[in-house]
Structure 1
Amino acid sequence: MRKPEEDRFRAFAGGQAAALRRCAYLFCGDWHLAEDLTQTTLVKIYRAWPKVQKQDSIQNYARRVLLNTWLDEKRRPWRRSELRMAAPPDFEDVGADPSAAEARSWAKDMTHRALLELPQRQRAALVLRYFDDLSVAETAAVLGCSEGTVKSQTARGLDTLRVVVDNLTAGRPARRAVS
């Protein structure tokens, strides 16, 4: 890659890495995995950079690559073998979470916990629509589906999210949604 192209990629990666990492965290719910997903996404974009910079929206392309990277990671056999429990067997290491340094509100924590209970496509639609503030058309472009599918996945996701939040606030075990 030539120096001007590499400089443009470095500027892109420097400006978008934090947003991609936040989006990856909202997809997967794990800061360490979000770091890995972001790094893998940036490597994939770097490899295709001469073609990528001709795209209309490089940010949407990056989100699409991130989403596909996360979905590929979810399909890996060693990820499927883990059993999910209602309560973790070990204590959470709050110091390992970068956001623990800030005062986390109850609503933010509840939202993250509830998002993890949603099926993958519903979670992706909600994260892209409401956390990344994309339009229906932009979300459809990132997910590679029709606008109607985005609307239905968003509506179903919000309904499921309400049920999960109600269960979490009532102290009942959260219903694990099928992905």
Structure 2
Amino acid sequence: MTVTDEALPRSPAAGPAGDPVGDPVGAEVVAALVRDLDVGFAALYEAYRGAVFSTALRLCGRWAEAEDLSAEAFLRAYRALAGYAPGRVAALRPRPWLLTILANVWRNSLRSAARRPAAAPLEDAPDPPDPGEGVEDVAARRETGRELAALLAALPEMQRAAVVLRHVTDLPVAEIAAVLDLPEGTVKSHISRGLARLRELRAAGRDPGQKGGVR
């Protein structure tokens, strides 16, 4: 999949020395990037690959597609960083910056998918496995993942993104507003309406295979 250059996000404003509020790892990652791009990018990837993949998985509902979205997001991030001046790198807030790239890649994938034949039904979308889990816990989590993926897929695009970023990735509203390039009030509205719609769908016992009737 490809994303136009115009879709590449501007880096959100940062605090002193690029230290993002609510992201204590960010300052260390930024400092590493300023010192050496390749070493710093390895630190960036290790710090945020989980958040990027989990967000991608809940946005698209398919494991393989989430891997593709994540890989494309990190590839675009590296290419962007290679062209940034040191001052711009130092001003990065890595987490919202990466998730903005991911959101743009995901939107672009939706536009591409709309021009292709209908995709197969949603696959299970469990969280990454925990080696210490018992069989019963794994089964319950997989069922929850399948249900959540189906319900999220029924939401309009912006509601889905806002709900995932707030309640899966655990971003504050201000960062979600930066990622989605929306006013904070609009983000709050999308989250509220998305959660209300999810509750309606779950209460109605909605068939995960159906995708119609979304308001």
Quickly name the TM-score band, shorter chain normalised.
Answer: 0.7 to 0.9
For the structure 1 residues 58 and 176, does the alpha-carbon distance in structure 2 shift closer, same or farther, using more than 3 Å as the test? Answer: same
- Alpha carbons 1:119, 1:177 under 8 Å: kept: no
Show the counterpart of 1:141.
178
Instruction: List structure 1 runs of 4+ shifted beyond 6 angstroms.
Output: none
Partner of 2:106: 70
Aligned to 2:148: 111
Residue 178 (structure 1) shift: 5.7
* Equivalent residue, structure 2, for 1:120: 157
Alignment coverage as a number of residue pairs = 170
2:208 is equivalent to residue 176 of structure 1: no
Unmatched segments (≥5 aa) in structure 2: 1-32
State the TM-score, normalized to the length of structure 1: 0.80
Indicate conservation of the 8 Å contact 1:118/1:157, yes or no: yes
Would the aligned equivalents of 2:163 and 2:191 in 1 still touch at CA under 8 Å? yes
1:152 Cα deviation (Å)? 0.8
Per-residue deviation, 1:53: 2.6
**Higher mean displacement: 157-166 or 140-149:** 157-166
**Structure 1 residue corresponding to 2:63, chosen from 18, 28, 31:** 31
Which residue number corresponds to residue 55 of structure 1? 91
Distance 1:56 1:84, change over 3 A: closer
CA shift digits 1:71-105 (9 cap, x unpaired): 001001x44443378xx5xxx6x7x9785786142
Shift of 1:22: 1.0
TM superposition shift of 1:132: 1.1
% identical aligned pairs: 32
Any idea what SS the aligned residue of 1:48 has? helix
**Worse overlay, 64-73 or 153-162:** 153-162
Is the 8 Å Cα contact of residues 151 and 208 (structure 2) preserved in structure 1?
A: no
Residue identity in the other structure for 1:156: R
Q: TM-score, normalised by structure 2?
A: 0.68
- Is the aligned partner of 1:21 residue 2:56? no
Question: 1:153-172: CA deviations, max 9, x gaps?
Answer: 111101211122123x2659
Alignment RMSD: 3.1
The reply to whether residue 150 of structure 1 matches residue 182 of structure 2 is: no
| Alpha-carbon distance, 1:69 to partner | 0.2
Kept after mapping to 1: 8 A contact 2:151/2:198:
yes
Residue identity opposite 2:48 in structure 1: Q
Higher fraction of helix: 1
Tell me the residue number matched to 2:117. 82
Extract unaligned runs of 5+ from structure 1.
none
